[in-house]
């Protein structure tokens, strides 16, 4: 008997996922050039594509391991590309960037070996909440580009970031624990 046919890589859901990469430069240009509405619009579109791509894949019966990995990789590039940009233009405090950089390094160290072997991205209990909180915090920071400078926004920044830091720490700890379990001899 022959192998099962591979699902196609070029699907509507995967194209929707990849469209987030096309939105990244639009958002960055909006941030760097002081066009907050451009950045906010691009970020809103990116969030919508992230919410729809998995649903579309399941509805069209196009869900695949490749699509799930593509979604994770695109999210990683988008999220951390924007955090780096926000830090470089002075919208993210150095201590916040240090926490985010540590989270990014943990993801790379824990996920890269599996991806390089052609495996799937490991999921933890904190993966989804951490990703949702990263998107939320990015939306907040980019939204601040178009909102009036209100004093209470600074407190909201700290609160959102505190919750985000806890979620990415939990996800990082789980990823490292998973790696540790896989490397320990049985």
pLDDT for 118 equals 65
Question: Which one of 9-13, 153-157, 171-175 scores highest in mean pLDDT?
Answer: 153-157
Question: Which one of 24-33, 60-69, 129-138 scores highest in mean pLDDT?
Answer: 24-33
Q: Is the pLDDT of residue 8 over 70?
A: no
Averaged pLDDT, 60-78: 88
Q: Is the pLDDT of residue 1 over 60?
A: no
Please tell me the pTM assigned to this model.
0.84
Contacts 24+ apart (CB under 8 A), 29-35: 30/145, 31/82, 31/85, 31/86, 31/89, 31/91, 31/142, 31/145, 32/85, 32/89
Q: Which domains occur in the chain, in start order?
A: 12-183 (1.20.120.1760)
Given a contact cutoff of 8 angstroms between Cβ atoms, the answer to whether 139 and 47 are in contact is yes
Could you please report the per-residue DSSP string of 70-93? HHHHHHHHHHHHHHHHHHHTT-S-
Q: Is the pLDDT of residue 151 over 70?
A: yes
Q: Which of 63-67, 82-86, 91-95, 135-139 has the lowest mean pLDDT?
A: 63-67
Q: Work out the mean pLDDT of the chain and round it to a whole number.
A: 85
- Return the ∠ at Cα 43 (arms to 36 and 154), rounded to 5°: 60
Q: Is the pLDDT of residue 158 over 60?
A: yes
pLDDT for 10 equals 83
Q: Is the pLDDT of residue 104 over 70?
A: yes
Q: How confident is the model at residue 142 (pLDDT cuts 50, 70, 90)?
A: very high
Q: Is the pLDDT of residue 41 over 90?
A: yes
Given a contact cutoff of 8 angstroms between Cβ atoms, the answer to whether 86 and 43 are in contact is no
Q: Which of 39-48, 95-104, 115-124, 172-181 has the lowest mean pLDDT?
A: 115-124
């Amino acid at each position: 008997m022959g192998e099962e046919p591979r699902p196609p890589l070029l699907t509507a859901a995967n194209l929707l996922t990849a469209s987030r990469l096309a939105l990244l430069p639009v958002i960055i240009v909006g941030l760097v050039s002081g066009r907050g509405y451009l950045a906010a619009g691009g970020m809103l579109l990116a969030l919508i594509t992230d919410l729809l791509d998995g649903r579309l894949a399941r509805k069209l019966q196009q869900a695949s391991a490749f699509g799930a990995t593509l979604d994770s990789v695109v999210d990683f590039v988008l999220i951390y590309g924007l955090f780096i940009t926000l830090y470089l233009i002075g919208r993210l405090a150095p201590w916040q960037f240090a926490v985010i950089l540590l989270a990014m390094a943990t993801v790379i160290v824990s996920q890269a070996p599996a991806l390089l072997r052609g495996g799937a991205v490991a999921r933890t209990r904190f993966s989804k909440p951490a990703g949702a909180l990263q998107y939320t915090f990015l939306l907040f920071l980019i939204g601040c580009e178009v909102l009036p400078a209100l004093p209470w926004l600074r407190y909201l920044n700290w609160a959102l970031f505190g919750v985000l830091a806890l979620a990415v720490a939990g996800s990082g700890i789980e990823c490292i624990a998973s790696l540790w379990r896989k490397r320990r001899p049985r």
